Structure 1
Amino acid sequence: MKAFIVLLAFITVGLTACGQSDKPAGPNPYYSRTDTQQLHVDNATWKKILSPDLYAVAREGATERAFTGKYWNTDDRGTYYCAVCGNPLFRSTAKFSSECGWPSFFQPLRKNATVYLEDHSLGMDRIEVRCGRCGSHLGHIFDDGPPPTHKRYCMNSVSLEFVPDKK
């Protein structure tokens, strides 16, 4: 019985850490890496299109566990897009190692790439970062980043899609 419990715990941790599904539940007609026009799509529609992991974070404001996302410890050159709608969000040149367990950036790609909302959940006062195109939850912003902005955009990997630069 003890071996079964240990095995079950190992499987659960493995699924939680590595179970982020990159595959959408259905085709996403709203995804575009070039269209930056604001979208107005209801959550019932997003739920049919997005994977369960992406929907939970992007549309319900969940947070992936620290040190489990696919981009928290990468340093490849390229661009990070919103995984929900394709909006260009961050360049890898603005990414830095914050050791917080989530990918961190010191500035977005352009002024309207992201929008900000007050977040008083979990007994904290924070600023939530959302996609400027589709309004999906990306993460939070903090004032402990490096120069020149001194900001740390602490993002959920599941909310991001990375496209490497062509060599």
Structure 2
Amino acid sequence: MKKNLAAVLALAVGVGIIGAGAGLAAGTADDMINARQAEMKVNMKAMKALVSMLKGETPYDTAAVQAAAKSISDAQAEGVAKDVWNTSSQTGATVKSGAKPEIWTDAAGFTEAWKNLDTAVAALSASTDEASFKAAFPALGAACKGCHEKFRAAE
């Protein structure tokens, strides 16, 4: 009996923790907008490092390319896990969003833009030398630009 009670309590605590985590992940619209903006800042930092290598301002470094690609993928995965592109986050109470309504009214287009980013990051991750990096980078730039032009408001 004690074992069953302990198992039931452990399960209840576990479910409670998971449920609380899910609630925290969703957050307010302001929380989701802040999380989206943090995701984009990670992407911007990665792009700056990659562009610096592309221009020859810093030496090419395979490990740095891999790290930049991973940071973009990880930031995107975290955003997906937190559901930061949820329709309830279109407008914040106190945080201004640069996201255009088209993200939600053209969900298929937005999904396609994310797929383009995924494909470009995968190609970048597969690069093994400076030549393959330079061949893969333009698709990443185009994916970022394409999404920003259609789904990001001008500042």
The TM-score normalised by the length of structure 1 is 0.32
Highest RCO, 1 vs 2 (Cα 8 Å, sep ≥ 6): 2
Relative to total residues, which structure has the larger strand share, 1 or 2?
1
**Larger helix fraction of residues:** 2
